[in-house]
Amino acid sequence: MPPKSYNTKARRYILEYFLENRDITVSAADILSYLEKKGEKISLTTVYRYLNKLSDEKKVISFSEGTGGKTVYQFVELNNSCDGHLHMQCVKCGKLIHLDCGFMNELKSHIEEKHGFSLNCSGSILYGVCNDCK
């Protein structure tokens, strides 16, 4: 196990990276590349271990890109739960938009009432093209 100060520094850099990229999803490889540029010697396994910890703490959410795609992560702003709404991601720039408007309540109610299905939004993404990339 790496020394505590080393581990803490790497963790601080990982959180810094998430804050700098809060509007897009990032992969473990993206994070590892960032750490290497900062001069940190850390294994991909350690990055995944910390991502799992952040996910358990609900500080990041994970998504699978497409069917069988790689897992990507996004930082969750304080007091912003992503379990109750869907997400939209631009396939061109990677921007992730939280669909946390009143429409979600209508959609959930409709699906429950008309189809007898309870919607689980955690980790759900709709893919398309954002206004900036159109």
Least confident stretch, 44-48, 93-97, 121-125: 121-125
Q: At residue 65, does pLDDT exceed 70?
A: no
Strand ordering across the sheet containing 86-90: 96-99, 86-90, 125-128
State how far the Cα of 44 lies from the Cα of 76, in Å rounded to an integer. Answer: 22
DSSP letters for 1-15: ---HHHHHHHHHHHH
Domains of the chain: 1-79 (1.10.10.10), 81-134 (3.30.1490.190)
State how far the Cα of 43 lies from the Cα of 79, in Å rounded to an integer. Answer: 31
pLDDT band at 98 (very low <50, low <70, confident <90, very high): confident
pLDDT band at 30 (very low <50, low <70, confident <90, very high): very high
pLDDT of residue 124: 74
Tell me the pLDDT tens digit for each residue of 74-92: 887 655 566 667 778 888 8
pLDDT of residue 106: 86
